[in-house]
Structure 1
Amino acid sequence: MYIYNVTINVENAIHDAWLEWMKTEHIPAMLDTGKFSKALMTRVVVEEEMGGITYSIQYRTDSKETLQRYYAEDAQKLRAQSKPFEGKFVAFRTELQVICEQ
């Protein structure tokens, strides 16, 4: 099991529209690729020096190979859909390998 984690800091000026877009369009589109079985969106409870609000979205996938297929087949198109918010957020992505779940 792998988790594709996207941490995003969003400027306050676009926050509400961005959050609605994430919940109603982007996350469903990610799941519609068929490469992720579940998505969990959380708010990072910390005051950022740079301001804004930070979120972590974790997409579960069955394998590294499936995640690689997402990068090759879907990532560019789905990332491009955030264009209306361009320059108003900062994102970084990490891959996590699940070792144990209890």
Structure 2
Amino acid sequence: MLIYNTTFQVDDEVHDNFLIWIKECYIPEVQGHGTLKSPRICKILSHRDEGNAYSLQWEVDNSGLLHRWHMEQGAKLNEELTRVFADKVIGFPTLMEVVE
């Protein structure tokens, strides 16, 4: 099993709207596709004063399924994120393998 993680750096001025969007739009849309499972949002604790950081994690069976999801849905959702939040939210993905 793999964990697909996206870390989002979120400016203070869009923080509340980002959380609403991620919970009410993004996660339900991804779940509807059926490839990524068990979403988990974590707030990243930091000593920085400006902005907030979040980790959104999904379980996925293999990298082939993840690639298919990205081609069918992920790229469009990334475009929507940019359209809605511009440079106020920046995300970067990480793929991890569960070892234990």
How far is the alpha carbon of 1:78 from its aligned partner? 1.2
Q: What root-mean-square deviation, in Å, do the aligned CA atoms of Structure 1 and Structure 2 show?
A: 1.2
**Partner amino acid for 2:72?**
E
SS at match of 2:68: helix
Whole-Å Cα distance in 2 between the matches of residues 35 and 71 of structure 1? 10
1:69-100 deviations in Å (ceiling 9; x for gaps): 11221111111221110110121111011111
1:15-73 deviations in Å (ceiling 9; x for gaps): 00111111111111111111112100000011336x20000000111111111111221
Determine the structure 2 residue equivalent to 1:7. Answer: 7
**Partner amino acid for 2:9?**
N
SS at match of 2:34: coil
1:86 equivalenced with 2:86 (yes/no): yes
- Normalised to the residue count of structure 2, the TM-score between the two structures is 0.92
- Normalised to the residue count of structure 1, the TM-score between the two structures is 0.90
**Partner amino acid for 1:66?**
L
SS at match of 1:48: coil
Determine the structure 2 residue equivalent to 1:25. Answer: 25
Pairing of 1:1-102 with structure 2 (within 5 A): 1-48=1-48, 51-82=50-81, 83-100=83-100
**Partner amino acid for 1:96?**
M
Whole-Å Cα distance in 2 between the matches of residues 53 and 71 of structure 1? 25
Structure 1's consecutive aligned runs of 4 or more residues displaced over 6 angstroms after TM superposition are none
In structure 2, the gaps of 5 or more residues are: none
Query: Which of the pair is proportionally richer in helix?
Result: 2
In structure 1, the gaps of 5 or more residues are: none
SS at match of 1:25: helix
